[in-house]
Chains A and B, each alone.
Chain A
Amino acid sequence: MIRKNLSLSLPLLLAAALAAPASAGPAQDRLLESLRAEAGQAEPGFTGFSAERGRALYLGPHAGGQPDMPACAACHTPDPGRVGQHVKTGREIEPMAVRINPARFTDPAQVEKRFSRDCPNVLGRACTAREKGDIIQFLSSP
């Protein structure tokens, strides 16, 4: 019985693992899933998040926000696996990369709060659902 189930599900699991973009854990996956639904509604041509686009967004530089905050990297450093430092206050910021800091992107309210502040600070506007997903995809990549 067990062997039969295994032989059936193993190819399925393998296919799922190959198809799904690499990410860190169930909490991050749930968050990406809800952002995916939101992005699909907002953009008819939306096909999925991209870690590469997220990386470009993270590194910037952007205009429109605060002059000393031209990118996420301004405070979080270009390497999201490292400890960041707030450019104005000097406050240390724990790493953003999920592989180093698994607690990142596990609390949707916290994530939404940070995006609602940091996007205006960096871009001078709110982020779209696709941009949020791209950034989380990038920061969740192994």
Chain B
Amino acid sequence: MRFLPMPLLCLLLLTLAVAAPVRADGPDRVAPVSDPLVRKECGECHMAFQPGLLPAGSWRRIMQTLSDHFGDRATLPPDQVALITAYLTANAGEGDPALSRITEQGWWRHEHRKRWTDWLRAEGSVKAKARSDCAACHRDAERGLYEDD
């Protein structure tokens, strides 16, 4: 350390400080939904969310509780539930498996911390019916592209 000039040390510390919060950021791109059954069945009432947006534990619980799917009935035949669960868990992302909503995940809240208060302030300009309506603001959300913020 004693050989490191002061300016260089500062730069190093600054780099670490900037790099550290990256963990809390969400993905800018996730793999789009490639399975036709998942695209159809998960995309009728809302956008077919990419499997990479939730950890496997969250997907498993969601697929086990379709009779009360965030307040709505969204039941499917058991064979389709099994196929969809397999696809979602095999392609799952990271996050807190205790949380079922994408919008509850730490990275989501972090990414939208500023935007969300902007939305509340500019009520008239809010296009999204719900926080889960990704495509209202992210035009290419359906294709897994969220870098347009």
Contacts and interface: CB of A to CB of B under 8 A. Distances in A.
A90 B76 contact: no
B71 A66 contact: yes
B98 interface: no
A113 to B, nearest CB: 7
A90 B133 contact: yes
B84 to A, nearest CB: 13
Contacts of A113: 75-77
The majority secondary structure among interface residues of chain B is loop
Interface stretch (A96-104, A115-123, A134-142): A115-123
Contact of B73 (A85, A90, A121): A121
Given A91-B46, A91-B47, A121 B129 contact: no
Interface in B68-90: 71-77
Interface of B: 43-47, 71-77, 128-130, 132-133, 136
Contacts of A120: 73
A88 interface: yes
21 contacts: A85-B129, A86-B46, A86-B129, A87-B129, A88-B45, A88-B72, A88-B129, A88-B130, A89-B45, A89-B47, A89-B129, A89-B132, A89-B133, A91-B43, A91-B47, A91-B133, A113-B77, A117-B72, A117-B74, A117-B75, A121-B72
Contacts of B46: 86, 89, 91
Interface of A: 66, 85-91, 113, 116-117, 120-121
Contacts of A91: 43-47, 133
A64 to B, nearest CB: 13
B45 A86 contact: yes
A87 B130 CA distance: 10
Contacts of B72: 66, 88, 117, 121
A87 B73 CA distance: 14
A26 to B, nearest CB: 24
A22 B11 CA distance: 78
B130 A89 contact: yes
B74 A90 contact: no
Contacts of A87: 129
B20 to A, nearest CB: 35
